[in-house]
Amino acid sequence: IEKDVLGVVDGREIRLKDIWPSDEEIDAVVKASVKPEQFRQVYIPMFAIQEDTGPKVTPLYDWRPQSTYIRRPPYWEGALAGARPLKGMRPLAVLPDNITTDHLSPSNAIMLDSAAGEYLAKMGLPEEDFNSYATHRGDHLTAQRATFANPKLFNEMVQENGKVKQGSLARVEPEGKVMRMWEAIETYMERKQPLIIIAG
19 inside domain: yes
Q: Are residues 108 and 186 in the same domain?
A: yes
Higher pLDDT, 143 or 25: 25
Predicted local distance difference test score (pLDDT) of residue 45: 86
Query: Is 31 buried (19+), middle (13-18) or exposed (0-12) by CB count in 10 A?
Result: exposed
Residues 6+ apart with CB under 8 A from 177: 171
Predicted local distance difference test score (pLDDT) of residue 80: 56
Q: Evaluate whether 148 touches 181 at the Cβ level (below 8 Å).
A: yes
Q: Are residues 95 and 150 in the same domain?
A: yes
Structural domain boundaries enclosing 25: 5-47
∠ at Cα 159 (154, 162), nearest 5°? 120
Q: Are residues 99 and 38 in the same domain?
A: no
67 inside domain: no
Whether residue 179 has pLDDT greater than 60 = yes
Question: For residue 109, what is the DSSP state?
Answer: B
Q: Given pLDDT bands bounded at 50, 70 and 90, which one contains residue 76?
A: low
The Cα 31–Cα 23 span in angstroms is: 12
Looking at this protein, which amino acid is placed at residue 60? L
165 inside domain: yes
144 inside domain: yes
How many domains, in total, are found in the chain? 2
54 inside domain: no
The Cα 52–Cα 33 span in angstroms is: 37
Higher pLDDT, 67 or 176: 176
Q: What is the per-residue DSSP string for 134-189? A: GGGTT-HHHHHTTTT--TT-EEEEEEETTEEEESSEEEETTTTEEEEHHHHHHHHH
79 inside domain: no
The Cα 170–Cα 177 span in angstroms is: 8
User: Residue 193's domain is classified under what CATH number?
Assistant: 3.20.19.10
